[in-house]
Amino acid sequence: ELRLPSKVASQVILTFPRSAMIHDDLVAPINDQITSEAYASQLYLQMSMWAEDKGLPGASKFFRGHVAEEMDHRNRLVDYLVECDAPVRLQAIPAPTAEFESLVSIINAAYDHEKMVTEQIDALASLALDRRDFNTFNMLQWFIAEQREELVLFRGIVDYMKLAGFTGGPGDALVNLDTFLLSQCHAH
Ligand code: OFO
C-alpha cells in the first residue's frame, strides 16, 4: 500500500491474461510503485524549485539530479511489466507540498521519504518471495541496492548538516551546506 500524501488506490484492472513471468499478486503493487517513483520525482522537482527560489544553486542542482533518477526508477518498473506482458495502468500523481521551512527541513523530508520508499521496496521483495515469484524478486535486487545507496547518501548529508552546525537560517553554514550539496551531485 502506498503512503503518499493523498492515498492512491491501485486502479489496475486484472482482466489481463495471466503472465507466465510474474505472479498476479505482484502486478498491482508494482503499478503502485510506479506511481510512488513518479511522486518522488515530483517531490524532488518541487524541492529543487524551492532551492532555486531561495538562491541556493547547490541544493537546486542536487535535487534536480534526483528528478531524472526517480524517473529512471519509474521506467525500470514500467519496462519490467512490459517485459512480463503484464498491464501498466498509470495513476494520478499527488501534488507534493511546496511549503518548506528551510533547507534543514527539506533534507530531513527527503531522508524520511527515502526511508519510506525503502520500506515499500522491502515489502515488494517480501511479497515476491512469499509468492515464489523469483523473476520479480530478482528485478527488485537492483532497487534494494539503490535504496541502500539513497539512504547512505541522505544520512551523509544529514550528518554533514549537523557537523556544519546548520540550523536553518542564512549565514556561512547555509552557504557551506549548499556547496556541499553541489559536491554530492555526482556522488550518486
Ligand atoms: Fe529515491 O529512490 Fe526511487 O523512489
Query: Cα(104)–Cα(165) distance, rounded to whole angstroms?
Result: 11
Type and span of the H or E element at 109 = helix 103-130
Residues in contact with 173: Cβ distance below 8 Å, sequence separation at least 6, in sequence order: 164, 165, 166, 167
What is the DSSP-derived secondary structure letter of residue 131? T
Residue type, 118: T
pLDDT, residue 1, reads 45
Write phi, then psi, for 11 (nearest 5 degrees).
Answer: -110, 20
Predicted confidence (pLDDT) per residue in 118-172, tens digit = 999 999 999 999 999 999 999 999 999 999 999 999 999 999 998 888 887 888 8
* CA 140 – ligand 1 centroid, Å: 13
Residue located nearest, by CA, to atom 4 of ligand 1: 37
What are the tens digits of pLDDT across the range 18-50? 778 999 999 999 999 999 999 999 999 999 999
Q: Is the CB of 23 under 6 A from ligand 1?
A: no
Q: Which residues contact 160 (CB under 8 A, 6 or more apart)?
A: 177, 180
Which pLDDT score is estimated for 7? 46
Q: Which amino acid is at 77?
A: L
- 154 CB within 6 A, ligand 1: no
Asked if residue 40 has its Cβ within 6 Å of ligand 1, the reply is yes
Local confidence band at 5 (pLDDT 50, 70, 90 cut-offs): very low
172 CA distance to ligand 1 centroid (A)?
30
Distance of CA 4 to the CA centre of its chain: 11
Decide whether any atom of ligand 1 lies within 6 Å of the 34 Cβ.
no
Q: Is 114 in the pocket of ligand 1 (CB under 6 A)?
A: yes
30 Cβ below 6 A of ligand 1: no
- The per-residue pLDDT for 17 is 66
The rounded percent of the chain whose pLDDT value lies above 90 is 78
Q: What is the pTM of this model?
A: 0.89
Residue among 34, 71, 73, 151 to mutate when testing ligand 1 (max atoms within 8 A of CB): 73
Residue 9 has pLDDT above 80, yes or no: no
